[in-house]
Structure 1
Amino acid sequence: MVDNYEFSWHPGIGDPTIAGWVTVALYLLASVSCWMTMGCVRRQNWNDKSDAHIWRIISVFFFILGINKQLDLQSGMTELGRMLAYSEGWYERRQAVQIYFVVSVAAVCLAIIPAFIYWVRTSPIQMWIALVGSTFVLGYVLIRAASFHHLDSFFRSRFLGLKWYWILEMAGIVIVLLASEWRRAKVVQQIGGRVAS
């Protein structure tokens, strides 16, 4: 065991690759799109407000993830966890703690799902699609945060020349972005139809 493990993380560019910057741009673009969709839905006076609240939540969530992607804040949290493991003497048993962490987060997510489904049960299909994309992104983030080495090696492997973690993360973001744009276009079309009649 190492007694004097030091905190060595410093904020910096987390993923300086082209794919990293594209991912950040997608996060921020999706965040702005969801925020605009939220505003559009709120102006649609006959619509249930829960739809607007969820677009706001997704917008803020993606904005934070976009900032985190380039500042690499999760590495700082991992470093803090590693320091705690060393100082408390359970570094050798860290895989068990990682498993408990992932299982706990999964249990909380599973417990929240029925309430969330009830909340959005009357929402349009675009909201459901956005939630599927958000689930992809959240699942990816949680698995990466747990830092399992065998999963990390899978995420770093390539498919058609692209790393899996680029594919999984960007796919979720693009799904949300497309759902948001579709929802906003639908609302604008409905508002335009009501104004014309």
Structure 2
Amino acid sequence: MQRWSPQIGDPGVTGWLTVLAYALCAMLALAVWRRLKGQRGRLFWAVLSLLLVALAVNKQLDLQSAVTATGKCLARAQGWYAQRRLMQALFIGLIGGCALALLLGLTLSLWGRLRQNLLAATGLTLVLCYVVIRALSFHHFDRLIGTRNFGVTNNFLFENAGLVLIAVNAAWLLWRRRRPARRSQAAWPG
């Protein structure tokens, strides 16, 4: 029987660096949200910040493993473990549908501002796809993410690629809004 207990899910250096990246991106998203007061796109950055905090916590508590262990335990106890593939398919469909609805809702909230937020939206899509695929634990994908490139696992590279896009987009928006407006040539005396 598979068991889960609350413990640090990825205690290595790369695990903690990823948690730090999630936290940094959440803080940047929160800063963008604060800066966009009264403007379109604010909801996107608020939801993004909350999602990133949740994913940072999940990264180390490995909560999806708790859901998997609970599902297996229920399946065995209720006698439908042999038909678990159908339940897995339904669960994958439910998660995928929720992720699609979330992305659609966030895209609609960015209507007219998608170009300024495209990197973050793409980064969020990459992170969510990675997390869902990782949680489903496809064996071929597990082998792929376990290999090493550039001295670190693909797991670290794939998960952080989306976070880099989110951070770059947030930093660009924050920097862009801090730059002083250029003086117009018409305002020049003479």
User: What is the TM-score of this pair, normalised by structure 1?
Assistant: 0.82
Mapped partners of 1:73, 1:103: distance in 2: 19
Q: Which residue of 1 aligns with 2:7?
A: 12
Q: Contact (CA 8 Å) 2:72, 2:81: kept in 1 or not?
A: yes
Mapped partners of 1:66, 1:166: distance in 2: 14
- Kindly provide the CA deviation profile for residues 124-172 of structure 1, in whole angstroms up to 9, marking residues without a partner as x: 5331210100000001111122223333222223334432221111111
Question: Which stretch shifts more, 70-79 or 159-168?
Answer: 159-168
- Kindly provide the CA deviation profile for residues 28-87 of structure 1, in whole angstroms up to 9, marking residues without a partner as x: 000001101111121xx5xx2x31111111011101111111122222112111111211
Q: Which residue of 2 aligns with 1:144?
A: 134
Q: Contact (CA 8 Å) 1:82, 1:91: kept in 2 or not?
A: yes
Q: Contact (CA 8 Å) 1:126, 1:180: kept in 2 or not?
A: no
Question: Which stretch shifts more, 114-123 or 170-179?
Answer: 114-123
Q: 1:107 to 1:56 in 2, by over 3 A?
A: closer
The one of 79, 101, 105 equivalent to 1:89 is 79
Question: Which stretch shifts more, 103-112 or 85-94?
Answer: 103-112
Q: Contact (CA 8 Å) 1:41, 1:184: kept in 2 or not?
A: no
Q: Contact (CA 8 Å) 2:103, 2:125: kept in 1 or not?
A: no
Question: Which stretch shifts more, 131-140 or 88-97?
Answer: 88-97
Q: 1:99 to 1:155 in 2, by over 3 A?
A: farther
Q: Contact (CA 8 Å) 1:12, 1:71: kept in 2 or not?
A: yes
Q: Which residue of 1 aligns with 2:181?
A: 193
Q: 1:184 to 1:195 in 2, by over 3 A?
A: farther
Question: Which stretch shifts more, 120-129 or 72-81?
Answer: 120-129
Identity among equivalent positions (%) equals: 32
1:114 CA drift (Å): 4.6
Q: Contact (CA 8 Å) 2:44, 2:106: kept in 1 or not?
A: no
Q: How does 1:67-106 map to 2 (within 5 A)?
A: 67-106=57-96
Mapped partners of 2:88, 2:163: distance in 1: 26
Letter in 1 for 2:82: E
User: What is the TM-score of this pair, normalised by structure 2?
Assistant: 0.85
Q: What are structure 2's unaligned runs of at least 5 residues?
A: none
Mapped partners of 1:111, 1:61: distance in 2: 14
| Alignment RMSD (CA, Å) | 2.4
Mapped partners of 1:157, 1:94: distance in 2: 29
Mapped partners of 2:93, 2:27: distance in 1: 32
Q: Which residue of 2 aligns with 1:171?
A: 161
